[in-house]
């Protein structure tokens, strides 16, 4: 039995393929990024009024960018509450739950008060409350969180 020798150029080619196969590509690997979408204008003027145990949240519909009316289709309302009798945890993370949705109907005119949205919630005594709203577009694009309303209800 004679032993055949593998030509040197084949061994060099295999070594080169092995080295190239182990080399990283460009060195920058990350999960794919979705295409940029124009952000949904956020609510910046969330306010509250309280009458007995009825909380009324109010905010104005944000204008779109470039002077156009935003394509806001509605808003989600979020709340978090913590018992006042429990440990004082100011500065702890706040976990919100969605408690409601306000769907917008087409706004026919620009009369005063037509661009204001209201949401009514019932509050209980003995809690520290947090509220925020988030707008969404017809395409499902979410806005940033609004300003947060925070208060104690004794």
In a domain, 130, yes or no: yes
CA–CA gap between residue 43 and residue 149 (Å, rounded): 12
In a domain, 15, yes or no: no
In a domain, 38, yes or no: no
Are the C-beta atoms of residues 51 and 82 closer than 8 Å to each other?
Answer: no
10-residue stretch averages of pLDDT, the chain, 154 residues long: 80 82 68 75 93 94 58 92 77 91 68 75 94 90 93 91
In a domain, 107, yes or no: yes
pLDDT of residue 5: 83
In a domain, 8, yes or no: no
In a domain, 42, yes or no: no
| Domain membership of residue 149 as a residue range | 47-153
In a domain, 139, yes or no: yes
> What does pTM read for this prediction?
0.69
pLDDT of residue 78: 98
CATH number of the domain within which 99 lies: 2.60.40.10
CA atoms within 13 A on the CB side of 65: 7
pLDDT of residue 53: 92
In a domain, 124, yes or no: yes
Are the C-beta atoms of residues 41 and 70 closer than 8 Å to each other?
Answer: yes
């Amino acid at each position: 039995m004679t032993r055949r020798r593998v030509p040197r150029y084949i061994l060099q080619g295999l070594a080169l393929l092995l080295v190239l196969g182990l080399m990283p590509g460009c060195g920058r690997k990350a999960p794919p990024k979705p295409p940029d979408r124009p952000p949904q204008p956020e609510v910046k003027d969330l306010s509250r009024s309280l009458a007995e145990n009825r909380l009324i949240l109010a905010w104005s519909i944000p204008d779109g960018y470039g002077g156009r009316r935003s394509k806001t289709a509605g808003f989600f309302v979020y709340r978090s509450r913590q018992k006042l009798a429990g440990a004082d945890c100011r500065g702890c993370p706040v976990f919100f739950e969605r408690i409601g949705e306000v769907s917008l109907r087409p706004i026919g005119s620009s009369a005063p008060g037509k661009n204001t949205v209201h949401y009514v919630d019932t509050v209980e005594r003995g809690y520290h409350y947090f509220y925020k709203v988030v707008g969404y577009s017809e395409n499902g694009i979410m806005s940033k969180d609004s300003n947060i309303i925070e208060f104690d209800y004794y």
